[in-house]
Amino acid sequence: MNIVRIKDIFVKDVTIELRQKYAVGGIALFAATVVFIMYKSFNNINPREWTILLWIIMLFAGLNAIVKSFLQEKKETYLYYFTLFDPLELIIARLFYNYLFMLLLFCVVVFFLSLFSGYPVKDSALFFGGSALGLFGISVIFTFVSVITASGQGNTTLMSVLALPLVLPSVLLLLKVTAVSVRLISDTAVTEDLWMLAGVDLLLSGVLMWLFPVLWKS
Amino acid sequence: MKGIWWKLAGAILFLYVLIGGITVPLKPGITEVSPSHGYTGTQVQLDITGYNTHFAAAGDNRAWLKLDSVLSIPHSAITADDDNRLKANFVLPQGFASGDQTAPLTLIIDNSMDGVFVQPNAFFLTRDTTSNNVNSGGWESDALKGFHHPSGLAFPYRSILNETIRNTFFHVALWFAMFLLLIAGVYHAIKYLRTKDIDHDTRSAGYTRVALLYGVLGLITGSVWARFTWDTFWTQDIKLNMTAIAMLIYLAYLLLRTSTEDVDKRARLSAAYSIFAFVALIPLVFVIPRLTDSLHPGNGGNPALGGEDLDNTLRLFFYPSIIALTLLGVWMASLLIRYERLRYKWTFKT
């Protein structure tokens, strides 16, 4: 394992993504459209709905975006990577790339939601910190499931069926943290939830790194 | 005969649990006391309704209202209408020493056939405006003695739970057996990734399938139990919903197994997924529910499997039930596994 190589793979992924401008633009536009539809159908979004909508949009937009992460390149390209990289380096780079993507998506969605229906968050540090922690866990699960679907038949229904129940614990914790940061509920033990999110992150990323080299061989 | 003994043991143990768990009676208990409150310095006649009691048959009923660990009031007169109904008269004292206006009293009943049994907070004694804040006459300090302790097997009587306490042998034991089977499934998944022996994949799938069946049965028995104790089949309760998610994760596992025809690929994917799912299950079932308040025992300060909820008579059936269900589960899994093996053999022959 080599940090420089991980960085190189990461930069390569980002460069490829930026080169195909429709991908990033598409996701941003998707987020904007969904937020606008929500805004028009709800008319007036109260803080409670705001937090729920935020995570529902994040869940589905993120799922859409990350499924592709192992499907977008050709089989031959993977064969080439296989000869070049250590699987561990590849998965770490890909995981960080996906994480960065989720963070960006999160910022875009929060921006549009705030634009249309206000920014109800009272404790921004908790809001962004907790979300960053939780999004990491979600990225790990989405990455894992995208590896599974890519090495299987590449079936997107299977992807959502596998991924959604797995992310639910993280999403429930995130909803709670967000609700606290919006002051919908007050909870002095919110740090416990943050630790829990961090624990889930560590546990799942450990398993991902352990399992990926096995799955990668196909 | 080789290899059959544990199947027999599982079946016999389960039969034992089934018969014993349903036929052993509950200990006597008090279901209703009326009136449930009274004033100091008055006389009161309590109509007591019992469950599984033998008031008339025993004849030597005694009753007390207990204030604290020392003081109590013995009955002044007592008559049994029938086996389940008792009228007990009490002369309530002039006052009691307490900062509160009202003191909760515990009703204790004893007779030679049922032994001693209690109902906490059965009667609330309210201070009269004229009475003093001292323990006046009428309270006795050494009245509680000479209790009967009849022998014989009986399950504890718990208000609300009542007869449904027997579900402990099925609902709770099913979850224990499910976890043991899941662990077996994950063990074989890891083994598969290590050895690439397809037989481990077959075993892993067999154990996981039976575990899923147990999970569904556990949800159903829990739901029925909830209907009789919480008055609803399903609640917003965190533990129930987390379990439902866990079931969804494992249903997705079954879907994943049908998604590809390639045997080796299927084995690799499902082994990886089942390990990942099992790890994801740990926070789901064990950690998150403990952070949130819940009706379910084992959460938010509710006791589970501890204290008086699992006494020695329950243990007599509860532990055998776990063993029996695990053995039966392994048996079912072995049938699934043998069927799969035959299919492989047949597929690769033709």
Residues A70-108: tens digit of each pLDDT: 666 666 676 677 777 778 888 888 888 889 889 988 998
Whether residue B259 is found in the same domain as residue B345: yes
Please report whether residue B103 resides in a domain. yes
Specify whether the CB–CB gap between B189 and B347 falls below 8 A. no
Among A148, A169, A199, whose Cβ lies nearest the Cβ of B284?
A: A169
| Dihedral sign computed on CA atoms, order B61, B66, B72, B76 | negative
For residue A192, which residues of chain B lie inside 8 Å, CB to CB?
A: 291
Whether residue B44 is found in the same domain as residue B111: yes
Q: Given an 8 Å threshold on Cβ–Cβ distance, is A215 in contact with B272?
A: yes
Contacts (Cβ under 8 Å, ≥6 apart) of A212: A87, A88, A90, A91, A144, A147
Cα–Cα distance measured from residue A9 to residue A15, given in angstroms and rounded to the nearest whole number:
10
CB pairs < 8 Å spanning A and B? 78
For residue B275, which residues of chain A lie inside 8 Å, CB to CB?
A: 207, 211
Please report whether residue B207 resides in a domain. yes
Cα–Cα distance measured from residue A198 to residue A200, given in angstroms and rounded to the nearest whole number:
5
A-facing residues of B in 224-243 (CB < 8 A) are 242
Q: Is A43 left (phi over 0), alpha (psi -120 to 50) or beta?
A: left
Tens-digit pLDDT profile for residues B234-247? 877 777 777 888 88
Give the gap in angstroms from C-alpha A164 to the nearest C-alpha of chain B.
9
Give the gap in angstroms from C-alpha A142 to the nearest C-alpha of chain B.
12
Whether residue B109 is found in the same domain as residue B175: no
Pair type for strands B62-66 and B72-74: antiparallel
Chain A residues with at least one Cβ partner in B under 8 Å: 141, 144, 148, 151-153, 155, 158, 161-162, 164-166, 168-169, 172-173, 189, 192-193, 196, 199-200, 203-204, 207-208, 211, 214-215, 218
Pair type for strands B77-80 and B37-39: unpaired
Cα–Cα distance measured from residue B320 to residue B307, given in angstroms and rounded to the nearest whole number:
20
Q: Given an 8 Å threshold on Cβ–Cβ distance, is B283 in contact with A169?
A: yes
Count of structural domains, chain B: 2
> Does residue B112 have a pLDDT over 80?
yes
Q: Given an 8 Å threshold on Cβ–Cβ distance, is A199 in contact with B283?
A: yes
Helices (H), B78-123: none
Pair type for strands B37-39 and B115-126: parallel
pLDDT of residue B288: 64
pLDDT of residue A73: 64
Whether residue B184 is found in the same domain as residue B317: yes
pLDDT cut 70: percent of chain B above it:
89
| Dihedral sign computed on CA atoms, order B160, B166, B171, B175 | positive
Overall average pLDDT of the A29-57 stretch: 87
For residue B277, which residues of chain A lie inside 8 Å, CB to CB?
A: 166
**Beta bridge partner(s), residue B105:** B123
Count CB atoms within 10 A of the CB of residue B84.
17
Pick B22 or B1 by higher pLDDT.
B22
Q: Given an 8 Å threshold on Cβ–Cβ distance, is A169 in contact with B288?
A: yes
Token pair in block for residue A128: 């962004």
Token pair in block for residue B191: 């083994």
Contacts (Cβ under 8 Å, ≥6 apart) of B60: B111, B112
Q: What is the ipTM score, two decimals? A: 0.82
Please report whether residue B147 resides in a domain. no
Cα–Cα distance measured from residue A30 to residue A14, given in angstroms and rounded to the nearest whole number:
20
pLDDT cut 90: percent of chain B above it:
17
pLDDT of residue B51: 87
Specify whether the CB–CB gap between A171 and A196 falls below 8 A. no
pLDDT of residue B177: 92
Tens-digit pLDDT profile for residues B166-177? 888 888 889 889
Q: Given an 8 Å threshold on Cβ–Cβ distance, is B283 in contact with A200?
A: yes
**CA-based nearest residue to B156, from B302, B62, B316, B25:** B25
For residue B259, which residues of chain A lie inside 8 Å, CB to CB?
A: 152-153, 155, 158
Whether residue B179 is found in the same domain as residue B299: yes
- Write down the pTM of the prediction: 0.81
Whether residue B114 is found in the same domain as residue B231: no
Q: Which of A206-210, B93-97, B332-336 has the highest mean pLDDT?
A: B332-336
Q: Given an 8 Å threshold on Cβ–Cβ distance, is A204 in contact with B280?
A: yes
Q: Given an 8 Å threshold on Cβ–Cβ distance, is B276 in contact with A166?
A: yes
Specify whether the CB–CB gap between B17 and B317 falls below 8 A. yes
- Of the three residues B126, B150, B177, the one that is the final residue of a domain is B126
| Strand, coil or helix: A72 | coil
CATH of residue B111's domain is 2.60.40.10
pLDDT of residue B300: 45
Whether residue B113 is found in the same domain as residue B183: no
Q: Which residue range(s) make up the domain with B97?
A: 29-126
Please report whether residue B5 resides in a domain. no
Overall average pLDDT of the A181-206 stretch: 83
Among B246, B275, B291, whose Cβ lies nearest the Cβ of A207?
A: B275
The verdict on B263 touching A (C-beta cutoff 8 Å) is no
Cα–Cα distance measured from residue B350 to residue B347, given in angstroms and rounded to the nearest whole number:
6
Count CB atoms within 10 A of the CB of residue B334.
16
Please report whether residue B9 resides in a domain. no
How distant, in Å, are the alpha carbons of A160, B112, B249 from that of B256? 11, 63, 10
Cα–Cα distance measured from residue B278 to residue A29, given in angstroms and rounded to the nearest whole number:
37
Task: Choose the mutation target among B288, B290, B292, B293 for the interface with A, i.e. most A CBs under 10 Å.
Answer: B288
Specify whether the CB–CB gap between B175 and B46 falls below 8 A. no
Whether residue B118 is found in the same domain as residue B207: no
Pair type for strands B43-51 and B115-126: unpaired
Please report whether residue B51 resides in a domain. yes
Q: Given an 8 Å threshold on Cβ–Cβ distance, is B259 in contact with A155?
A: yes
Please report whether residue B131 resides in a domain. no
Whether residue B73 is found in the same domain as residue B198: no
Return the half-sphere exposure (C-beta side, CA atoms, 13 A cut-off) of residue A22: 0
Overall average pLDDT of the A13-26 stretch: 76
Whether residue B121 is found in the same domain as residue B180: no
How distant, in Å, are the alpha carbons of A105, B272, B273, B339 from that of A216? 27, 11, 14, 30
Overall average pLDDT of the A162-169 stretch: 86
The verdict on B276 touching A (C-beta cutoff 8 Å) is yes
Count of structural domains, chain A: 1
Q: Which residue range(s) make up the domain with A43?
A: 3-216
- Of the three residues B101, B126, B151, the one that is the final residue of a domain is B126
Tens-digit pLDDT profile for residues A103-115? 988 998 999 888 8
Whether residue B247 is found in the same domain as residue B313: yes
Please report whether residue B82 resides in a domain. yes
For residue B287, which residues of chain A lie inside 8 Å, CB to CB?
A: 196, 199
| Dihedral sign computed on CA atoms, order B289, B291, B294, B299 | positive
